[in-house]
Structure 1
């Protein structure tokens, strides 16, 4: 039975992007089911699959998995040869740690700079807590690239679940014109050039639904 992934709007839903990018980027077939975040019956439709009532949700036969980090772990178990996590034990431990840190942390940046793929690249003044998040993220990226990044452009060389977890942050840093060190800037470029991300963004730019809470220029909606 094919995997099914329930997601929200591609322009805004950073949580949906993560498992979608992992599945697509690692070549794991699945069926996509998109439920608009502003649909009046959004909760009802998603709760038909998951008690959390939130996206993303992965349906794998009788198994239902929600929360992006849990979905990645499920995929790692189901498809051990697809490279969800690095094969080297030290790299794998580091990847799981930084991915989990992304899942539960950096709230100041996420709150101040929501993912919005159709917004033109324009600088946004960040609070000190958000700027601190940027510095910490750049530090994690630098550690991963220096210790484990040989052989590819991603955090652990080849594309992995850790990159899927950090992809939404990479979009935020570009969208809001955040100045980055050379290693971080190159990594942001690598994420945006990945064919799976390119496909996601192309679909996102065709969407029409607007979420005011994710438009930092509201009531103006800026679109590329």
Structure 2
């Protein structure tokens, strides 16, 4: 099989890159990482060279290009069904895909107010309209899925659904959004996963700074 080549952006900031990277890494699917840093002043022309959308992440597999985080995860799941990217039970898979799509398309208030920033010091901010509702909905998803599965992750073992919510764990941590013990327990499980630790260590070692997200 041709190797997977996953193009990503800065690990400190790129939440969409984080999702497929942590999914593939956490489920032991081999790939080659190629990081292209953001350049917010002039844009980065390399993104147009490797992705039809001009954005990352994008997966190259032979002559095929697959873009968008969830599409990359789904493609990998088809080629590596034994890796456990999705739960085995058909009902669990349906719910895992449902909440992953909800994450993909929703929670815009939280995204806008609280961008992912691994290096950010923990401190609260004044939350605009909609963020509290987003936080409450996410906490409900996490609580209900873990109650049903028994944890420690959303569907018992680590899966693509956890990967889709991984950047939210950072947002909850650094903007001090999590209050319930259930939420904190789930966050601790994610933050202790080797894939999370590897991404975080690499993000902390980066020297690139995007001032808009550091404020």
Q: TM-score, length-normalised on structure 1?
A: 0.92
Question: 1:206 corresponds to which residue?
Answer: 205
Which segments of structure 1 move beyond 4 Å, counting only runs of 4 or more? Answer: 39-43
List alignment gaps of at least 5 residues for structure 2: none
- Distance change in 2, residues 1:41/1:126 (3 Å): closer
Aligned equivalents of 1:138, 1:3: Cα separation in 2: 34
Question: 2:38 corresponds to which residue?
Answer: 37
Are the equivalent residues in 2 in contact too, given 1:6–1:35 (CA < 8 A)? yes
Q: Deviations over 1:72-111 (max 9, x none)?
A: 1111111111111100111110000000110111010011
Aligned equivalents of 2:40, 2:105: Cα separation in 1: 26
Residue 6 of structure 1: SS of its match in structure 2? strand
| 1:153 CA displacement | 1.0
Residue 38 of structure 1: SS of its match in structure 2? coil
Aligned equivalents of 1:101, 1:43: Cα separation in 2: 29
Are the equivalent residues in 2 in contact too, given 1:49–1:57 (CA < 8 A)? yes
Counting only pairs closer than 5 Å after superposition, residues 54-133 of structure 1 correspond to structure 2 as: 54-133=55-134
Question: 1:10 corresponds to which residue?
Answer: 11
Are the equivalent residues in 1 in contact too, given 2:40–2:210 (CA < 8 A)? no
- Distance change in 2, residues 1:110/1:84 (3 Å): same
Counting only pairs closer than 5 Å after superposition, residues 137-156 of structure 1 correspond to structure 2 as: 137-147=138-148, 149-150=149-150, 152-156=151-155
Residue 200 of structure 1: SS of its match in structure 2? helix
Question: 1:47 corresponds to which residue?
Answer: 48
Moved more, 122-131 or 20-29: 122-131
Question: 1:220 corresponds to which residue?
Answer: none
Residue 83 of structure 2: SS of its match in structure 1? coil
Residue 48 of structure 1: SS of its match in structure 2? helix
Q: Deviations over 1:8-33 (max 9, x none)?
A: 00000000000000111100111000
Are the equivalent residues in 2 in contact too, given 1:108–1:129 (CA < 8 A)? yes
Q: TM-score, length-normalised on structure 2?
A: 0.95
List alignment gaps of at least 5 residues for structure 1: 218-224
